[in-house]
Amino acid sequence: MEAEKLFDGLINNQPLADRMRPTTLQEFVGQSHLLARGKLLRTLIDQDHIPSMIFWGPPGVGKTTLARLIATTTHKECIVFSAVTSGIKVIKEIMVKTKDNHGKDAPIVFVDEIHRFNKAQQDAFLPYVEAGNIILIGATTENPSFEVNGALLSRCKVFVLNPLTTDDIASILNHALHSPKGYGNYPIQIDDDTLHMIAAFANGDARMALSTLEMAVLNGFDGSTILIDAPLISQITQRKALLYDKKGEEHYNLISALHKSMRNSDPDAALYWLARMLEAGEDPLYVARRLIRFASEDIGQADSKALQLAVAAYQAAHYIGMPECTVNLAQVVIYMSVTQKSNSTYLAYESAKNDALNELDEPVPLVIRNAPTSLMEQLNYGKGYQYAHDLSTKVADMQCLPDHLKDRVYYHPNDVGMESRMKQRLETIKKIKKQLHEGALVQPLTKEDQ
């Protein structure tokens, strides 16, 4: 009987994610770049100077909750619309009722998924925002530059909400396990590794994490206690519990394996290590940042398109998130594994960095200094400078390095891919400079002289 009462108590018509919504800003987890003391949004809230604004961020990071907390903190009425369920007729009817409100008396009108409203529906808010009859807070998972009308967007401050970290979500889950609003009154057994497994699976989405925990609690009841372990979470999420610690050794082992597999032109191995990381809960943006680095460090001038693709993959991962972005990252991993490679850019910078750190800080040669004042001209700033675009060879005989480094060569191009063409061009440039310096080539006249 006691077991039945215990289980019945777990059944709640209100989802755990709704029960655990923060009721104060102090309870809100994440977004410290906006809500920490001294940050812009926190200051606006504390001073009750709330502008119309757009919250842009992925699902489950607190956009709706934050809008409601702003209304509660500033003692404002909050009118909630959903672009999925609200039509323009309802919007206009409610907007008319706000026409006598101004300034601090104006209600907050929260529009969830504002990007789903068409142009006419978005335009319905515009005159009331302009007149100060309402404070509009729109929430969107899409780039507002493309999805919100320019006229409306120009009257709103855009705040970008970041995906929650695994630690943020673990904190939210811990609160749910110990709070009376959650499962604080129930005998739940769960270790830290399993808790972090749920947090990693959620991939920055607090709502998903709480829903997973709720399902685990209901399925982990054994008659007297509630046991939540890794096999149960694997069954619920339909994911294998992969050995992976995003802060520990395995994290660095796997990213090293991915990097070195691509460097060794092995797309199959690279794809495997990519999948191991992503399916274990790694942040896809972390992987995308590593691909951007690889594009210049290991491919460089041999195929400059690789950097463009890496940046595009980062943008794709940012816009659509997991799991959809896995194919974007896989596309770039395959490309980088197969394309020709050169580390000459990496070596060139390392060599230049060594001199910058260890050699004397000689002044910039006078010939390539700017001379914005007459005094600088008198001191020979820019004297003898030749504008390369005005020369038929497009190359001038000028020393651009400090005296003690004037013959230093940092960049040594390879005969690989597109870099072979750069090598040929560089050899031509050096030949022209040598001929100009030795007087074997007459210095071309500038356009002004012609």
Q: Which of helix, strand or coil describes residue 138? A: strand
d(CA 217, CA 225): 10
Last residue of a domain, which of 179, 212, 237? 237
- The predicted model gives 332-359 an average pLDDT of 92
Q: Does residue 23 form part of some domain?
A: no
Same domain assignment for residues 156 and 173: no
Percent over 70 (pLDDT), the chain: 88
- The predicted model gives 44-73 an average pLDDT of 90
d(CA 28, CA 11): 26
- The predicted model gives 363-368 an average pLDDT of 85
Same domain assignment for residues 406 and 333: no
Q: Does residue 357 form part of some domain?
A: no
What CATH number did the domain enclosing 201 receive? 1.10.8.60
d(CA 87, CA 81): 9
The answer to whether the CB of 163 falls within 8 A of the CB of 58 is: yes
Residue 450 pLDDT level (bands cut at 50, 70, 90): very low
Max Cα–Cα distance, the chain, nearest Å: 104
**What does the block give as tokens for 165?**
């970290």
- Tell me how long the chain is: 450
Mean pLDDT (the chain, rounded): 84
Q: How many domains are there within the chain?
A: 4
> What residue has token string 């796997």?
254
Same domain assignment for residues 281 and 382: no
Residue 109 pLDDT level (bands cut at 50, 70, 90): confident
Same domain assignment for residues 68 and 156: yes
For the cut 50, the answer to whether the pLDDT of residue 449 exceeds it is: no
Q: Does residue 406 form part of some domain?
A: yes
Would you state the pLDDT for residue 142?
82
Q: Does residue 447 form part of some domain?
A: no
> What is the secondary structure of 330-395 as a DSSP string?
HHHHHHHHHS----HHHHHHHHHHHHHHHS--PPPPGGGS---SHHHHHTTTTTT---GGGSTTS-
Last residue of a domain, which of 143, 160, 177? 160
Would you state the pLDDT for residue 58?
84
Same domain assignment for residues 321 and 374: no
Same domain assignment for residues 101 and 211: no
Chain-centroid distance, C-alpha 205: 15
Same domain assignment for residues 294 and 376: no
Q: Does residue 22 form part of some domain?
A: no
Among residues 313, 337, 333, which one has the least CA distance to residue 263? 337
Q: Does residue 199 form part of some domain?
A: yes
What CATH number did the domain enclosing 323 receive? 1.20.272.10
User: Across the strands, what pairs with 229?
Assistant: none
Strands 135-140 and 188-189: unpaired
**What does the block give as tokens for 90?**
């309802």
Same domain assignment for residues 308 and 206: no
Q: Does residue 26 form part of some domain?
A: no
Better pLDDT: 3 or 300: 300
Same domain assignment for residues 156 and 112: yes
Percent over 90 (pLDDT), the chain: 28
Contacts of 442 by beta carbon, 8 Å cutoff, 6+ apart:
none
Domain, as residue range, for 218: 2-15+165-237
> 0.85 cut: is pTM over it?
no
Residue 315 pLDDT level (bands cut at 50, 70, 90): very high
d(CA 439, CA 272): 59
> What residue has token string 């215990």?
6
What CATH number did the domain enclosing 154 receive? 3.40.50.300
Same domain assignment for residues 232 and 270: no
For the cut 60, the answer to whether the pLDDT of residue 447 exceeds it is: no
What CATH number did the domain enclosing 410 receive? 1.10.3710
Would you state the pLDDT for residue 252?
80
Q: Does residue 196 form part of some domain?
A: yes
Residue 442 pLDDT level (bands cut at 50, 70, 90): low
Last residue of a domain, which of 104, 135, 160? 160
d(CA 203, CA 328): 17
Same domain assignment for residues 229 and 155: no
For the cut 80, the answer to whether the pLDDT of residue 85 exceeds it is: no
Would you state the pLDDT for residue 104?
62
Same domain assignment for residues 330 and 405: no
User: Across the strands, what pairs with 53?
Assistant: 137, 157
Contacts of 171 by beta carbon, 8 Å cutoff, 6+ apart:
29
The answer to whether the CB of 262 falls within 8 A of the CB of 270 is: yes
Strands 188-189 and 226-227: parallel
